[in-house]
Structure 1
Amino acid sequence: MAVVAPAQPSVLQTGNWFQFSVKSDGIYKIDYNLLRQAGLNPDQIDPRNLQLFTGSHGMLPQPNSSPRLADLQELAIEVVGEGDGRFDRNDFILFYANGPDRFEYRTSKSLFFYENNLYDDKNFYYLSVRAQPGKRVPQQPSEPGTHPIIREFEDFGYYETERYNELKSGRHWFGEQFDSRLDATIQFDVPGILGGSSLKLVSHVMGQSFASANFKVFFNNVQVADQPVSPIPNTQYGVKGSVRADTITFSSALVGASAQANQLIRYEFVKAASLRSVGYLDYFIFTCKRALALYGKQTRFSSEASLNNVITTFEVSALSAESRVWDVSDRLNAKSQNFFLQSGKGMFSTATTSLKSFIVFNSAAATLATFEKKINNQNLRESPPVSLVIVTTPALQAEAQRLASHRNQQGISSWVVTTGEIYHEFSGGKQDVVAIRDFIRHQYLRSGQLKNVLLLGRGSYDYKNRIANNTNLVPLYMSRNSLSPLETYSSDDFFGFLESNEGEWRESPAQNHTLDIGIGRIPAKTADEAAVVVTKLIEYDTHPKRLGPWHKQILFVADDGDFNIHHTQSNDLARNNFELPRPEFDVTRVWVDNFEQPERPSGQISPATYEALDQRIEKGALIVNFTGHGSEQIWMQERA
C-alpha cells in the first residue's frame, strides 16, 4: 500500500543552473573563460555566492531500502580570488570531483574494490550563483606533537574495456578478444612501487571453448598465474561462456616492479583443441604499495598502516611551494590540509582512527571541467499527484504530451516527464535505470495515487551506444547474466517493484518481487513512430466503430520446446485469469505445436501458425499474450 510521504523541493526549482562534467576522480577547476562559455558573465557575479552541487557517487543501489541522497548536494569549493567580491580573469573555482565509477580500499582484504559504472561515462556537477555565500573548503590544521610517520600508501591500476556482449542481452560486457591474436599487453605508468612489498592482482577472464583452455598472466614479463577456463557445452541453449576469477598475490621483487615506472600486464590465451576456442579479458585490478610522493599533476592517497595510530604524520615527497594537500575523506566536504614544507617534503599530522583519503596537487595544473549545458528549472520532488506518469525523451515529448492530454480528458490524471529531468534530481545527471525506479517510487509513495507508468521510447542492451545505430531512448532493466540464453533477459517489471524490501531482484538464486503498479512501454524509435501509436490509442477511445466483439476476445499464443512448458504456462494463464473467473470473455489459443512445422535448411518454420495468428489479430483482440522465445521482430524459433 502506498504511504504518503512529505515532499522537499529540489534545489533546481529556482535560479540559473549550469551543468559541468568530469570523467575521473581528481581536482578540477572552472575558470573565467569556461564560465563565459557556459553563458555566465563573470564580470557581473559575486564569486562568494557561487555554489556547486552534485549527486550520488557511482551507480545507485538497487535495493529500495538502501540509503541514497534526497536531492543534489552542495559540495565545498575554493574560489581563488573571491575576496574582493569580483571574479577576475585570473580567478578560478577549485573542487574535488568523483568520476562516474566508484572505488574504495577494503582493509579486510587489503585491496581495492572498483565498480565500473554500467550506465554512464561521465559524472556531473551543477553550478549556480545564489543569494547567499556558498560552502567553501576550510583550512585543516596539522595536529601538534610527535607521531608515527607514514611514507607509503596503497594505490591501484584498473583496466576494463566493454566491447562484446555475446547474446546482445544482459549488462555484462567483455573486452579484448583472443582469437586471431592470442595476446594483449596493457601498460601502466606507476613509479615508486616499494621493493619487497606484495602486489595483489584480481583478474577476471572468460572463455568460449568446447574443451579446456587457459590464460597465462604475466606482470613485467614474469608469469604470475595460469587461469584455466572450463569448457562450455556445444548446445543451442547451453551457457555461452565460462568466467574465471582469481586473486593472485606476488612479490614486487619477483616482477621487478620497484625498478621501473612502466608496469606491463600481459595476457596470453592458450586455445583448446576444439571446434571453437575464443578468450576474452573481462577486467583486472592490481593493488600495490608506493612511496608517498606527488606523481604527475596530482596523486590521491590513503594508507592502511595509518590505522595503527590514533594520530599519524604523513611525509609526502616531491612537493613545492605551489603544492596543496586536501583531505577528501568526505567527498562533499573537502578540507585544505596545512603542512610543513622542508627540502621538497611536506609533513602534516592528522587523526587516523578511520581510513583517511587525501589528494596532493598543484593548483595551476588542475584539470578543466567540461561544460555540458544550461539546466532549466524543475522540481519533480513536488510533482502533481497523478494516476499515470509517462516517461520519455525530448524527441518524443510532444507525442507523450498529446497522449497525456487525451488521458486527462478521459479523467485519468496524467503527467509527462523526461529521463533527463529524472536523472538531474535522482542520480546527479548520470543515466541510471535505478533513478527512473526511484522517481516512480517517490511519486507512488508521495501521492498515493499512481496506478500506471508508460515508458515511451525504445530501450537497448547497450546503455553507452557502443554498437552502430543503437537506440537507447528510455533504458531497459537488464539482467546481470549475459551468458546463459535461458537466464538473460530485459524487463520493465523492475520499475514497478516499489516495496521497501524489493529492488535487489537477485538472479542466483532467483528472488521474486511483485508489481505494485502497471508498467507498459511503447518502443518507438522516432517521433513519427510514436505518433502512429499514439494516434491509434486515441482512435481506440474515440472512433465511432471502436466498440465491437473484439472487446471480448483474448488471444493466447505459445511457443513449443522446453518440454512444452510454454504451452502449460499459457494454458494456466488462460484458465486462471479468464476462463474460470471471467467466462464472459472468449479465449482463443494459437499454439505452434497445433500447426504443421515443415523442415527447412535453416530449421523448422510454421507458415500455418503465422497465418492463424495474423487472421486473429486482424479480427481484433482486447489482449494478445505471447509466452515463449522471441525478439522484437520474431516470435518463436519457427518464426511465426
Structure 2
Amino acid sequence: MRKLFFLILIHPVILLYSQTENVNIQWNREDIHHFFPNALYEDGENTLPYFTRKIAWTPEGMLPVVSLKVTKTTEIATSILHGIDQSHLKKSPLLEYSLAREAGKSFVLVKVLPFIRQADGKVLQVDDFELLLEREAALAPLKSAKAGSWMDHSLLASGSWFKVSVEESGIHKLSYEQLQEMGLSNPASVSIYGSGATSLPEQFSHGYIDDLEAIPLYIHKGADGIFGPGDHILFYAQGPVHWEKDEESGMYLHQLHSYSWKGHYFVTDGKGEASGPEDAVLSTNVPTHTVAAYDFLDFHEDESYNLIHSGRVWYGDVFSVNLTEEYPFYIQGRVEGEPVKIHVVAAARSGVSSTFSIGANNEQLGTISISGTNLSHYTSTYAYESSEQFSYLTDFNEVYVRVTYNRPDANSQGWLNSISLNGRSELTLSGSQLAFRDSRSAGPGNISQFQVNEANSEIIIWEVSDPQHPQNIAYVLEGEIANFTLETNVHREFIAFRPEGSYPSPDYSSEGLGSVTNQDLHGLSHPEMIILTPELFLEEAEELAQFRRENDDMDVAVVTQQEVFNEFSSGTPDVSAIRNFMKMFYDRSGGTSSSCRYLLLFGDGSYDNRGSGEKQYNPNLILTYQSEESLSPTGSYVSDDYFGLLDTDEGMYDGLLDIGIGRLPA
C-alpha cells in the first residue's frame, strides 16, 4: 500500500516556539459524510477528513516537535458508525508532521486525523485541540540536508582501521594492551570515529551521515604523562536504545534501533592523537531550578515475534498458555514519595474485546482494553494493539510489574510489546558512571543548578545531549557535591564518571569486527548502475556487472552492503544508509538521473531485518524497508521504492522515484 502525504496550501501560520495554537473545528455532517472548511480527503472510499496546517519554521539547525492536546470531543452516533472506516483510528488523534522547504524557506507541515476510537468501541470526533510546536537540537552526527554536498573520499580509503561494537550507551574503555591486541601499531596515537547506533532519519530534512567523524576521548596516561602499558582510553558510545519524551503521556519512552542490536565505531592510529571534549558554556545567572534528582529510566522489550510476517513492530511474551508474567525492575537511589510511572504496550487477537490486567508488586494498577477482530476473514486486522500508563507509589526500590491476559476464550491470545518505566532517583554517583537527565527543569528560559553527590575532584562530567560531540562540564566542588549551572531551555543529558572506574570494553573480536579493508565508495566517479550485494554473492554480482558492461556498454559498480554501512551509517545496518548512498550520486549530478540511473539489490530480503528470532527461515541478505503498520494484512507493506526517493524534500513514503530499482531475491 502506498501512503502519500498531501497538504492543502494555506496561508502560513507563525507560532512562537513552545507556545500553543487553539484549534476549533467547525464540523458539518450530512448523512455519513464528515467535513469542515479546508478539510483534506485522501484517496479512497469513505475516507475521513484531515486537518492540515503549514507553519513557518525559522530556527535553522533545529528540528520541530509537534504535539497536540484534545480539549473537546463529541461522540459519533452508533447509527452512522457503519460509514466510518475505523481500522486506523487510535485512542488519540493521528498526528503526522514533517519539515519541508519551499522557495528557500522552511515550513512545518502538520496533518491531524481528528477522530478517536476508544477501547469500548466508541468513536469520537475532535472539536477542539491545542497544537503545540516546540524545537529540539538536530541530531549532531547528521549533516544538514540543504547543503547537498558530500565528502570526495572516505577516511577509510587509507590507513589501518579496526571495527568495534557496543551493546549499550555509556562510557566504554579500551586499554593500551587491548589496542595492541586489536592490531594498532601505535596505540599512543589512537582515535575513534563513528556515531554508534544512531538511527538515521527517514526524512532528508533531518539530515544524514556523510562518512566518519571523530569523537572526543578521555586518555588516561598515568603519572608519567605518556600513554603506555597500564593506561587506557574512555569514550562515550551510543547504543541501540534511544529515549524520547512523549508529550502526551509525559513519560520518556524507549525506542529500539530497527536494524541492529549493536552500535559500531572505527579505531585507528593513523590520524594523530585524539582530542578531548570542548568545555560546555555554563551560566552565571541565578538558577530557576535546583536539580538533586533525575529521571530514572528502564524498560523491558523482547523482540521475538512478528505477528503477520510484515512490518517493523515485533512482540515478546505470548499469553496463551501462561496468562501471567512478571517483570522485575530495580530503581537505584529511589526518591521517597515520588511515584513510579509505568507504560505498557500490548496486543491481542480475539473475536471479542479483551483486557490485560497490570499490577506492580502486590497492587493492582489497572487494565488495558483491546478491541476484538474478525478471526475468520484473512483481510481483517490480525490483532489490535493498545497502551496505557499507570502511576504507582511504592516504598521499595524493587518493582515487579505483573501482566495478566484475561483471555475471554480458548481462541484468544495476547502479546506483550514493551514496558517503559520512569522513576525519580537521587543524583548520586555511587558507582563508576551515572547517566542522568531531568525533565522537570527543562523549559523556556529555565536555568538549572545540578548537584551531583558523592563526587570528588577526580570525577568527570560530560554533557552528552549530542552524543557525537560531548562537552566537558567545569563543575565546582563543594564538599562531596559537584555543582554546575547552565541553561535548560531544552532537555539535556549528562554522564558523570570516574577515570579509574570499571567499564565495559567494546567487542573487537567477533565475526565482522576487527581489521577493516580500505574502501572508498565516496570516491566512485559516476556509475550508471550500482549492484548492491552481500559478501556471499560478490563473485556472482561481479559476473552480472561484467555482462552489463560488455553487452549494454554500462558503467557498473559492485559494492557490498557492509561497505555502504561503513561509510554512511558508522558500520551499523540501516536502510537509510543505502538510500543516502544513492542520494550522493543524485546530488552530484545536480538532482537529475544523468549519473546513476539504476540500483540492483542482489539478494533476498525479509521482514526480519535484525535477525530477531526467525532469520533461519527468512534470510535477510539485503535490508528491506518495512512499514510501521505491522498488524493489518492490507495496511502493512514492504517496498524497495524507499531507496529511490532522493530529492531533499522526500525520504519517507512520499515523492516520486528518481532511479530504477530492482531486486534479485537470491
TM > 0.5 fold call: yes
SS of the residue 1:233 aligns to: coil
Q: Unpaired segments of 5 or more residues in structure 2? A: 1-146
Matches within 5 A, 1:156-555: 156-234=297-375, 235-248=377-390, 250-252=391-393, 256=394, 259-273=395-409, 275-307=410-442, 311-320=447-456, 323-341=459-477, 344-363=480-499, 364-371=501-508, 372-410=513-551, 411-447=553-589, 448-465=594-611, 466-467=613-614, 469=616, 470-505=618-653, 513-524=655-666
AA partner of residue 421 (structure 2): F
**Partner Cα distance (2:491, 2:340) in 1:** 20
AA partner of residue 458 (structure 1): D
SS of the residue 2:364 aligns to: strand
Deviation sequence 1:287-333 (CA, Å, 0-9, x none) = 22222112543221122343477543322223456543222233222
**Partner Cα distance (1:307, 1:451) in 2:** 47
Determine which structure has the larger helix proportion and give its number: 1
The two structures have a TM-score, normalised by structure 1, of 0.74
1:10 corresponds in structure 2 to 154
SS of the residue 2:233 aligns to: strand
Contact 2:184 2:268 in 1 (8 A): no
**Partner Cα distance (1:489, 1:351) in 2:** 44
Deviation of residue 146 (structure 1)? 7.2
SS of the residue 1:454 aligns to: strand
Deviation of residue 280 (structure 1)? 0.5
SS of the residue 2:587 aligns to: helix
**Partner Cα distance (2:628, 2:418) in 1:** 16
**Partner Cα distance (2:275, 2:329) in 1:** 37
Contact 2:330 2:399 in 1 (8 A): yes
SS of the residue 1:247 aligns to: strand
Contact 1:7 1:446 in 2 (8 A): no
Deviation of residue 286 (structure 1)? 2.1
Contact 1:383 1:443 in 2 (8 A): no
Deviation of residue 82 (structure 1)? 8.0
**Partner Cα distance (2:543, 2:225) in 1:** 49
Deviation sequence 1:403-444 (CA, Å, 0-9, x none) = 112211231110100000000111111111111111112223
**Partner Cα distance (1:394, 1:296) in 2:** 43
Deviation of residue 66 (structure 1)? 2.5
**Partner Cα distance (2:283, 2:504) in 1:** 30
**Partner Cα distance (1:516, 1:441) in 2:** 10
1:143–1:441 distance in 2 versus 1, CA, 3 Å: closer
**Partner Cα distance (1:272, 1:459) in 2:** 37
Deviation of residue 362 (structure 1)? 2.4
Deviation of residue 141 (structure 1)? 8.9
**Partner Cα distance (1:108, 1:280) in 2:** 24
AA partner of residue 357 (structure 1): E
Deviation of residue 139 (structure 1)? 5.5
1:77–1:228 distance in 2 versus 1, CA, 3 Å: same
**Partner Cα distance (2:446, 2:206) in 1:** 31
**Partner Cα distance (2:249, 2:555) in 1:** 53
Deviation of residue 345 (structure 1)? 3.4
SS of the residue 1:174 aligns to: coil
Deviation of residue 102 (structure 1)? 1.9
**Partner Cα distance (1:92, 1:437) in 2:** 38
2:117 corresponds in structure 1 to none
Deviation of residue 6 (structure 1)? 5.9
Deviation of residue 56 (structure 1)? 6.7
Matches within 5 A, 1:63-102: 63-81=203-221, 86-102=226-242
Deviation of residue 28 (structure 1)? 0.6
Contact 1:142 1:339 in 2 (8 A): no
AA partner of residue 451 (structure 1): R
Deviation sequence 1:49-106 (CA, Å, 0-9, x none) = 3221113753211123331222222111111118967431111111111102322346
Contact 1:27 1:94 in 2 (8 A): yes
**Partner Cα distance (1:294, 1:82) in 2:** 23
SS of the residue 1:404 aligns to: helix
AA partner of residue 88 (structure 1): G
AA partner of residue 619 (structure 2): T
SS of the residue 1:238 aligns to: coil
The two structures have a TM-score, normalised by structure 2, of 0.71
SS of the residue 1:500 aligns to: coil
1:7–1:139 distance in 2 versus 1, CA, 3 Å: closer
Deviation of residue 468 (structure 1)? 5.2
Deviation sequence 1:464-514 (CA, Å, 0-9, x none) = 222152421111222222222222232222222223333211xxxxx5x43
| 1:111 maps to which of 251, 254, 257 | 251
1:296–1:269 distance in 2 versus 1, CA, 3 Å: farther
**Partner Cα distance (2:207, 2:168) in 1:** 24
Deviation of residue 192 (structure 1)? 2.5
**Partner Cα distance (1:240, 1:175) in 2:** 16
SS of the residue 1:333 aligns to: coil
AA partner of residue 31 (structure 1): S
SS of the residue 1:490 aligns to: coil
**Partner Cα distance (1:162, 1:521) in 2:** 27
1:187–1:478 distance in 2 versus 1, CA, 3 Å: same
After TM superposition, the structure 1 stretch with the greater mean CA deviation from structure 2, 454-463 or 147-156, is 147-156
Aligned residues: 505
Contact 2:196 2:238 in 1 (8 A): no
Deviation of residue 251 (structure 1)? 4.7
**Partner Cα distance (1:453, 1:32) in 2:** 43
Larger radius of gyration: 1
AA partner of residue 314 (structure 2): W
Determine which structure has the larger strand proportion and give its number: 2
1:615 corresponds in structure 2 to none
| 1:28 maps to which of 165, 172, 175 | 172
AA partner of residue 243 (structure 2): F
Contact 1:427 1:435 in 2 (8 A): yes
**Partner Cα distance (2:343, 2:305) in 1:** 21
2:37 corresponds in structure 1 to none
Deviation sequence 1:520-562 (CA, Å, 0-9, x none) = 11111xxxxxxxxxxxxxxxxxxxxxxxxxxxxxxxxxxxxxx
AA partner of residue 467 (structure 1): E
Q: Unpaired segments of 5 or more residues in structure 1? A: 506-510, 525-640
Q: Does 1:136 align with 2:272?
A: no
AA partner of residue 502 (structure 2): A
Deviation of residue 151 (structure 1)? 0.9
Q: RMSD in angstroms over aligned alpha carbons?
A: 2.6
AA partner of residue 103 (structure 1): W
Deviation of residue 366 (structure 1)? 2.0
**Partner Cα distance (2:283, 2:628) in 1:** 47
